[in-house]
Structure 1
Amino acid sequence: MTEPRARARTLTILVGSAAFVVVVAGMMSINGIVGPTFLAVCLTVTVHPLRHVLARVGLPAWAGTVACVLAVYAILLTFAVALVLSGARFAELLTRYEDEFQRWLTDIKDLLNQWGVGDSELDQIFSRLDIRAVAPYVAEAVSSATSVTGNILLILVLLLFMALDGSVIPRLAAKVPERHRSTVDALADFATGTRRYFVVATVFGVLVALADVVLLYALGVPEPWLWGVLSLITGYIPNIGFVLGLVPPALLALFDSGWQTALWVIVGYCVINFVIQSVFQPKIVGDSVGLSATVSMVSLIFWTVILGAWGAILAIPATLLVTKILVDRDPDTRWMSPLIAGREPVA
């Protein structure tokens, strides 16, 4: 009995692995559709409680639908505009510090000369360095992060129809036969966990952004409120988001006030991030969505590879969806839940 059972398990693992590869390859081939669609789903379930709030104060159902549509449109457009403005402003400010940039290159070249690096090699390297050449890369990064040119219309249309269907989905879900109840409950848990995650991430993101603004004001870094908004947006990217929000103010501090100010910016951002986002936030996020810090980091890498820039923002909700459907509701795989959550199961 043991040998046939072992063979069956091996066959199951091989078939499951092959299916996993096929699914991942398929998602990567259409990530331009999967990413925006899943973002629309996450935004829709996040603002869904607004419908119930308006219903309790006596407003008709259509008012809740309109409020949900306007809310998700406002969230999406605000973040997209903030990213575009921050990228454009960063590129513009960099061009003002061309002389400072050249002086830094000269100092670095002199230092490398003292260490024995020849002038010919340095000239070949430094001749290609131009601060103005950074602007196109900044614009490309912002375009990749927002996907405004190709996906904004798709997301807006999806959000509209999902918000319209949001008024009838709960009633239809309540009529699902009992044998399919576990799937409906898993989707409900996903919606609840997604709302909790975005609420927690937003609260901590606002705290970090305000602390960053105070720090940048104190150090005299240009456009502190703009980098505070950027810090809030990048805060939705687990673990490494603060690094992405740190680069623009650190570079501007370097060129505007010198390496000492840039160092203080880096130290201040690291301290703020460690205290708020590395000590308190992981504990609360873990309790809210049931994902350990290690799983969060692995999911960030995994979903970014599959979905690109969308995956960096949607890593936690995507992992939460997979966990709720394939792990928590399956008696054969439920034993993995404590390992994924990184804590003992609640009695």
Structure 2
Amino acid sequence: MWWTRKRSTSREAAEAAAEAAAEAEEEAEAKAEAESLATMSKHRNAYILMGIGGGALAAFGLAAISGIFAPVFFALVLTICVHPLRIWLEKRGVPRGIATGSVITAVTLLLLTFGYAVIVAFGQFTELLPQFAPQIAAFGQDVADWLTSLGINSAEISAAASSFDPATLIGFLGGIVGGLTGWITILVIIFTMLLLMAMDAGFIPTLFRQLYPARPLVVGSLVAYGHNVRRYMVVTTVLGLAQGFVNWIALVILQVPGAFIWGLLAFICSFIPNVGYFLAIIPPIIFGGLVGGWPTVIAVIVVYGLINAVIQSIIQPRVVGKAVSLSQTITFFSVLFWAVVIGPIGAILAIPLTLLVRLLLVDTNPQMSWIRPMIGELDETKAIMAQFDAEAKAARKARKAAGKAAAGRTGGGGGVEGTPEPATGAPAGAATGTTT
């Protein structure tokens, strides 16, 4: 009917107008993006300097509030690590409030267990150090004499060696542990943030679903960040416990004093990439050398080297996988950088902090995808390298085969050297007849 045709015509016109408006909007966005890229290309150096200045200002700001930022971020990492427990409980019908309480209880028990272990280790250390104070002082004097024999004749070295008293370490460590005001403040911040973050975490899945249609890249990057941090921290914790336990048993067998202390130190240092191994091995080497001499020192080095090679160099990379797509250079620099900015806990949280910076600057910015291979995502790079290696290997084989063929043509002929080959199709005995 005529009114049906009129209605369909108006609907088609509306759809055409909507399509035209959408195309115009896309063209406007593309034009604005092109203009912004052109502007950035004109002032690239200025933007780079502004970025460096902003990064330096942010680093100084974090250093100024490190007393607050470090425990808050530590609470965030703990919340991320225990979030699957909440999901598991809620899927089985546990009320959200009980799930939140279970998460807080689990984290609190973990922290209390670790704190108790630290207190026990500190008590053992305060008892152990006075027993070996004379040997440690003598060792310091031997090091000073050795430096003097190498030509480093300094009165300051001799004075430091003669005035060194290992008992002063007890007072120093006691002052650190005895700063109850600072520790209580940190613990209050951690537990308060854990409580608040655990309650807010119940809304995270719904918030992600709500935000995904508008910002899919941001939601995907946040989910990937949580997964990567959780995988890295949980795997490092489990492997660190195994590493510390094995080191403890090995040091007990080797009769190194303070085996439990050094096993706990190995567990803590397992969270510090590249540097933690060297920090963990120095004390057992010293105390092993004091009681057993060089054989014990060599045994400690061998045991620690084997355990570190198996756990941190073989098992951990395969289990963690792509959770930490950072190059070795960036990983080492991040340990040093965050240790300077927010203190010793920065070295332990260096990987999660660096992944957070990567989330803000790279993962949520489509224009920065080109930098991913440069900071550690090397899957495509490794495939290209394998292809180049295969092509180079094939080229070497081809050159080798061509060289053999050329050598066969110049030195061949099957008779006296330098005798010309018979013409194609000539009788087999023709060449023999000419040579005779």
CA distance in structure 2 between the partners assigned to 1:106 and 1:198 by the alignment:
42
Q: 1:148 aligns with which of 178, 183, 208?
A: 183
Q: Does 1:53 align with 2:95?
A: no
The structure showing larger relative contact order (alpha-carbon pairs under 8 Å, at least 6 residues apart) is 1
Deviation at 1:202? 1.8
CA deviation string 1:273-328 (max 9, x = no partner): 13321344245435223222222112111211211122111111111122123212
User: Which amino acid letter does the alignment assign opposite residue 303 of structure 1?
Assistant: W
- Percent sequence identity is 35
User: Which amino acid letter does the alignment assign opposite residue 253 of structure 1?
Assistant: G
CA distance in structure 2 between the partners assigned to 1:118 and 1:8 by the alignment:
55
CA deviation string 1:241-269 (max 9, x = no partner): 12232233333223333343133223321
Q: Does 1:334 align with 2:334?
A: no
Q: Does 1:237 align with 2:237?
A: no
- Residues 75 and 143 (structure 1), Cα distance of their counterparts in 2 relative to 1, 3 Å cut: farther
Q: 1:300 aligns with which of 332, 335, 340?
A: 335
Partner in structure 2 of residue 222 of structure 1? 257
CA deviation string 1:56-98 (max 9, x = no partner): 3332222211111012222233333333432342233011112
Deviation at 1:226? 3.8
Q: Is the 8 A contact 2:269 2:277 kept in 1?
A: yes
- Residues 143 and 169 (structure 1), Cα distance of their counterparts in 2 relative to 1, 3 Å cut: farther
Partner in structure 2 of residue 203 of structure 1? 238
CA distance in structure 2 between the partners assigned to 1:122 and 1:307 by the alignment:
32
User: Which amino acid letter does the alignment assign opposite residue 365 of structure 2?
Assistant: D
Structure 1 spans left out of the alignment, 5+ residues: none
User: Which amino acid letter does the alignment assign opposite residue 305 of structure 2?
Assistant: C
User: Which amino acid letter does the alignment assign opposite residue 350 of structure 2?
Assistant: A
Q: Is the 8 A contact 2:137 2:161 kept in 1?
A: no
Partner in structure 2 of residue 168 of structure 1? 203
Instruction: Provide the aligned C-alpha RMSD in A.
Output: 3.0
Say how many residue pairs are matched: 345
Partner in structure 2 of residue 21 of structure 1? 56
Partner in structure 2 of residue 125 of structure 1? 160
User: What pairs with 1:1-347 in structure 2 (closer than 5 Å)?
Assistant: 6-105=41-140, 107=142, 124-139=159-174, 148-176=183-211, 178-285=213-320, 287-345=322-380
CA distance in structure 2 between the partners assigned to 1:121 and 1:188 by the alignment:
55
- Residues 56 and 131 (structure 1), Cα distance of their counterparts in 2 relative to 1, 3 Å cut: same
CA distance in structure 1 between the partners assigned to 2:57 and 2:154 by the alignment:
52
Structure 2 spans left out of the alignment, 5+ residues: 1-34, 384-436
- Residues 245 and 83 (structure 1), Cα distance of their counterparts in 2 relative to 1, 3 Å cut: farther
Q: Is the 8 A contact 2:137 2:164 kept in 1?
A: no
- Residues 122 and 206 (structure 1), Cα distance of their counterparts in 2 relative to 1, 3 Å cut: closer
- Residues 141 and 271 (structure 1), Cα distance of their counterparts in 2 relative to 1, 3 Å cut: farther
- Residues 258 and 333 (structure 1), Cα distance of their counterparts in 2 relative to 1, 3 Å cut: same
Once the two structures are overlaid, the 10-residue window that deviates more, 151-160 or 252-261, is: 252-261
Q: Is the 8 A contact 1:35 1:310 kept in 2?
A: yes
CA distance in structure 1 between the partners assigned to 2:38 and 2:209 by the alignment:
44
Using structure 1 for the length normalisation, give the TM-score. Answer: 0.87
User: Which amino acid letter does the alignment assign opposite residue 227 of structure 2?
Assistant: T
Q: Is the 8 A contact 1:50 1:68 kept in 2?
A: yes
**SS of residue paired to 2:202:** coil
Once the two structures are overlaid, the 10-residue window that deviates more, 334-343 or 107-116, is: 107-116
- Residues 199 and 119 (structure 1), Cα distance of their counterparts in 2 relative to 1, 3 Å cut: closer
Using structure 2 for the length normalisation, give the TM-score. Answer: 0.70
Q: Is the 8 A contact 1:187 1:321 kept in 2?
A: no
- Residues 253 and 335 (structure 1), Cα distance of their counterparts in 2 relative to 1, 3 Å cut: same
CA distance in structure 2 between the partners assigned to 1:122 and 1:16 by the alignment:
44
- Residues 259 and 327 (structure 1), Cα distance of their counterparts in 2 relative to 1, 3 Å cut: same
CA distance in structure 1 between the partners assigned to 2:161 and 2:236 by the alignment:
41
Once the two structures are overlaid, the 10-residue window that deviates more, 120-129 or 310-319, is: 120-129
- Residues 335 and 215 (structure 1), Cα distance of their counterparts in 2 relative to 1, 3 Å cut: same
